[in-house]
Amino acid sequence: MIFGDLSSFVFIDGQELPEYAVVASSTPTENRITCWIASEEGKKFGVRWMNATERSWAIRAVVSVDGVRCPPQTMRPGRVGTIERTYLSNDSVTRDFMFSNIELTDDDSMLGDKNSNDIGQIVLKVDTGERTKKKVVKHGISKNSALRVREGKVHERSKKACAHRVIFGKEVYRQDYLPGRSKSRSAFKPDNRPTTVFVFKYTRLDILQAMGIAPSTSTNSKANDYGDEIEIIDGPYEPSSLSLPLKDVKPRIQHLEMELQHLRARLASSEDQKPSRIKLERGVSRRQQTAMEVLDLTKD
């Protein structure tokens, strides 16, 4: 999904998941964009986000999965690039994100459990502001280093359309964990610019199809992707009048390619889509994988 110069998507096995029923809204304090994605039981996943334009302010992004908040990631002023989050972590250990079947119960004592309200949602919240640093000391391994997350059953009437939830893999000690050594950690002060929120609602593909959110995977729909012609319209080359610094060209291309993929996905999922004049040769996919440079800024 794309909002202004920010974009984000969920990926499995390195591949971006198709997005369905994308809806965007704005208020003076918040920009929100929501979609549906198809989850797969037993698959690890991650959230990738990108800033496409150099800015004079810092950016902080926080991923939450099923209401479980991950540590924030920050991008320094002037940075352009991509960051991803694939695990829950603290100073010493990490636990990978993974989709799993949801366990239901008819125990009415769990009907009002607020912990289940956010199951079925992956949220990325992006703020802008001022980034500073403060020093903290890492202590040795203790009983508090474990990442404890509640992963109990959910009342059957709480999540009717939700077949999956997020679980967390086994604990793995961080490679950069150095007990007793001081580490520079970021502090962040938000400004008054609107927060941008990306919400990925997820469930099984067959449920999305039954709800009319995702198109059915029929033989005819697959046949439309191959064996067709491509209509090419030639015209004079007109160089852009925009003055873009060379270092911003590659991120800008990536941003535009992601936007083009997003628009094509929305067009393909529309129920009343008219026959397209642009047709693809055999073996060419409508969704091309965008090559992006991933910046590892989680240590800041």
pLDDT digits (tens, 9 = 90+) for 47-56: 999 999 888 9
Highest mean pLDDT range out of 20-34, 218-232, 254-268?
A: 20-34
Is 113 or 103 the better-scoring residue by pLDDT? 103
- The mean pLDDT of 272-278, rounded to a whole number, is 42
Distance from chain centroid for Cα 90 = 20
Going by pLDDT thresholds of 50, 70 and 90, the confidence category of residue 118 is: confident
Question: Quick one: residue 252, left, alpha or beta (phi over 0 = left, psi -120 to 50 = alpha)?
Answer: alpha
pLDDT tens by residue, 169-189:
999 988 776 666 666 677 889
Q: State how far Cα 255 lies from the chain centre.
A: 14
Q: Are 163 and 216 in contact (CB under 8 A)?
A: no
The CA dihedral of 49, 52, 53, 56, to the nearest 10 degrees, is 20
Instruction: Give the pLDDT score at 290.
Output: 41
Residue 229 has pLDDT above 60, yes or no: no
- Cβ atoms 120, 68 nearer than 8 A: no
Longest dimension (CA), the chain: 70
Q: Which two tokens stand for residue 27?
A: 């208020």
Name residues whose C-beta falls within 8 Å of residue 229's C-beta, 6 or more positions apart in sequence.
Answer: 279, 281
pLDDT score, position 247: 59
Rounded to an integer, what distance in angstroms lies between the CA atom of residue 284 and that of residue 286?
A: 7
* The pTM of the whole model exceeds 0.75: no
The neighbouring-strand residues paired with 46 are: 11
Query: Does the structure show a pLDDT above 90 at 195?
Result: yes
Q: Which residues contact 186 (CB under 8 A, 6 or more apart)?
A: 72, 74, 131, 132, 133, 300
Query: Which one is predicted more confidently, 47 or 231?
Result: 47
pLDDT of residue 139: 53
Q: Of 82, 70, 33, 86, nearest to 262 (Cα)?
A: 33
**Percentage of residues of the chain with pLDDT beyond 70:** 59
User: Is the pLDDT at 28 greater than 90, yes or no?
Assistant: yes
> What pLDDT is attached to residue 92?
84
pLDDT of 198-211, one tens digit each?
A: 999 999 999 999 99
Segment 1-18, tens digit of pLDDT:
999 999 999 999 999 999
* Helices and strands (DSSP H and E) totals, the chain: 3, 19
Beta-sheet pairing, 58-65 with 73-75 = antiparallel
Sign, CA torsion 287/8/65/177? positive
Inform me whether the pLDDT recorded for 57 exceeds 80: yes
Contact 135, 184 (CB under 8 A): yes
Q: Where are the alpha helices (DSSP H) in 237-294?
A: 246-269
Give the pLDDT score at 238: 46
pLDDT at 115 over 90: no
Task: Indicate the average pLDDT of the chain.
Answer: 76
Q: Report which of residues 295 and 22 the model is more confident about.
A: 22
* 3-state DSSP of 141-167: CCHHHCCCCCCCCEECCCCCCCCEEEE
More confident residue, 157 or 35: 35
Residue with tokens 């609107």: 194
